[in-house]
Amino acid sequence: MKNLKEYFENTKGSGVLATADSSGKVDAAIYSRPHFLEEGTLVFIMRDRLTHHNLQSNPYATFLFMEDGPGYNGKRLFLKKVREESNPELIRKIKRRKYTDENEEPKFLVYFTLDKELPLIGGQA
């Protein structure tokens, strides 16, 4: 997990988090790089939208990250939600964008374990 933390701290690119609801209806949304905590979990900051809603009934997600630059380099992370919390103080501490909006909607910290990591292209099923 340490190598992944370093990878995401030092690699620029774009990410997509894919989820599905309990009946299998899929959603994909642009997400920034995950945050890595000392306890070995990845965390995404989420608003109460479709991705967050899907994770209430189906804990599995995939994060696809494509590096900036030529070619198709990046990673696919297969994740399982383990818990979530609403902790505005921790969210302020770890978020990368530092602007504030007094009227922002609630945000959640959603914690995941890593089930599998594959390169962006290829890898095993």
Structural domains of the chain, ranges and CATH numbers in brackets: 2-119 (2.30.110.10)
Q: What is the pLDDT of residues 41-78, one digit of tens each?
A: 999 999 999 999 999 999 999 999 999 999 999 999 99
Lowest mean pLDDT among 28-32, 75-79, 90-94: 90-94
Task: Using the predicted structure, report yes or no on whether residue 99 has a pLDDT greater than 60.
Answer: no
Indicate whether 102 pLDDT > 60: no
Let me know if 77 is exposed, middle or buried by CB neighbors in 10 A (0-12, 13-18, 19+).
Answer: buried
Contact 52, 17 (CB under 8 A): no
Q: What is the mean pLDDT of the chain?
A: 91
Distance, first Cα to last Cα, the chain: 21
Global confidence as pTM: 0.88
DSSP at 103: T
